[in-house]
């Protein structure tokens, strides 16, 4: 499983042109599921995301977690994180899990996060648009195997 984790001041998600979800201060997590991923991997990823200390403390150091700032998380499924671009100009998605296999794993990630923090989502397998106000250059890539 791969995740792009972006610190945000605000994030609004539209599915099929309609506003679906919104968070204030926290994280936007774009989550990709590979053909090798399991629910156990999703649970481990959730725990890692919750423990990340990527928010600034009073001295400007990245020392606070999502709990410390009272933040929220938005998780959006993103199969394109597993695009293969090597040797081609048109990506292939062979390593990305098919929707019927990916959805339960994505749902496990969301479920584990929701046990501890307010978590919004996108709508799996739909066209989505995301408006966000990024919080500085706070973008992190994480892969759990």
| Catalytic annotation, residues | 80
**CB-based contact 39:108 (threshold 8 Å):** yes
Contacts of 52 (CB under 8 A, 6+ apart): 5, 65, 66, 140
Residues 141 and 2 sit within 8 Å (Cβ to Cβ): yes
Alpha helices in 1-145 (DSSP H): 39-51, 99-114
Determine phi and psi for 35, rounding to 5 degrees.
Answer: -65, -20
Report the DSSP beta bridge partners of residue 129.
14
Give the closest residue to 77 by CA, choosing from 53, 54, 55, 101: 101
């Amino acid at each position: 499983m791969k995740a792009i984790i972006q610190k945000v001041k605000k994030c609004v998600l539209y599915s099929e042109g309609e506003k679906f979800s919104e968070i204030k201060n926290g994280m936007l997590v774009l989550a990709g599921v590979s053909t090798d991923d399991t629910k156990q991997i999703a649970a481990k990823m959730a725990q890692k995301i919750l423990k990340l200390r990527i928010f600034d403390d009073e001295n400007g150091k990245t020392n606070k977690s999502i709990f410390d700032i009272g933040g929220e998380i938005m998780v959006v499924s993103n199969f394109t994180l597993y695009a293969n671009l090597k040797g081609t100009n048109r990506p292939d998605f062979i390593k990305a899990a098919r929707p019927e296999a990916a959805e339960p794993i994505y749902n496990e990630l969301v479920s584990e996060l929701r046990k501890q923090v307010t978590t919004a989502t996108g709508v799996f397998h739909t066209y989505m648009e995301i408006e966000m106000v990024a919080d500085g250059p706070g973008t992190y890539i994480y892969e759990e195997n």
